[in-house]
Amino acid sequence: MNQVLRDAVRPIRADEWPKAKELRLLALKDPAAPIAFLETYEQAATEPDSFWQERAKGAAGGTRARQFVAEGQDGAWSGTVTVLIEDAGSGDVFGGAVQQRQAHIVGVFVRPEHRGSGVIDALFETAVGWAWSVAEVARVRLYVHEDNTRAESFYQRYGFVRSGETVPMKGDPSKAEREMVLDKPKVLSDIS
């Protein structure tokens, strides 16, 4: 758990888009990428700078999205998660309709050499805490591929439970992406 003490979790700044791009491309080269992310390295690598600039700008402030990174004392980023705020009636990343206002965690990645160190717990503490601070967000959800047992083990350890909802995996409909949810603790709901 020493990593938690060393790496500070914070939102990215808009001007850090080159670093956000670098970490995303590394994530998309991970052996787990085909079951972890919806886009491919090949797709992302051809995006122009303006794509990464817009993405970083949109996730650096406001109440629609926030990208968090864990940063070591040397300035290196060891992991990242992004929180999207979804409104009831809007379309989600799978093309379905969102049933209720909620937060959706995507882009979960820890560099291989930092896995098992507690970095992911620190990232989720901050990311989920931010979600609870956004008005009228009472639920955080995410999707995990049925074969991504390592990620699902962490989500369960953190308190997420399967909702029972699934969507077919893009490109391989024989496999499912399982929705997992975490409800806002009642003690926080009562004071917000």
**Applying CB under 6 A, which residues contact ligand COA?**
30, 32, 36, 108-110, 115-116, 120, 144, 148-151, 153-154, 157
CB of 44 to ligand COA, least distance (A): 14
Residue 25: CB partners within 8 Å, gap ≥ 6?
Answer: 41, 44, 45
Write down the least CB distance from residue 192 to ligand COA, Å: 27
DSSP one-letter code for 61: S
Q: Give CA–CA dist 31/33, Å, rounded.
A: 6
Closest distance to ligand COA from the beta carbon of 15 (Å): 25
Residue 17 or 109: the one with the smaller Cβ distance to ligand COA is 109
Side by side, which strands form the sheet with 8-11?
8-11, 65-71, 77-86, 102-110, 139-145, 172-183, 161-169
Which tokens sit at 122? 């620190």
Q: Give the integer Cα–Cα distance in Å for 149 and 191.
A: 35
In the bound state with ligand COA, the residue whose beta carbon lies nearer, of 40 and 153, is 153
Q: Which residues have a Cβ under 8 Å from the Cβ of 52 and sit 6 or more positions away?
A: 17, 18, 20, 21
Q: In whole angstroms, how close is the CB of 121 to ligand COA at the nearest point?
A: 7
Q: Are 128 and 14 in contact (CB under 8 A)?
A: no
Which residue's CB is nearer to ligand COA, number 1 or number 135?
1
CB of 35 to ligand COA, least distance (A): 7
Length of the chain: 192
Which of 89/129 has CB closer to ligand COA? 129
Query: Closer to ligand COA at the Cβ: 14 or 167?
Result: 167
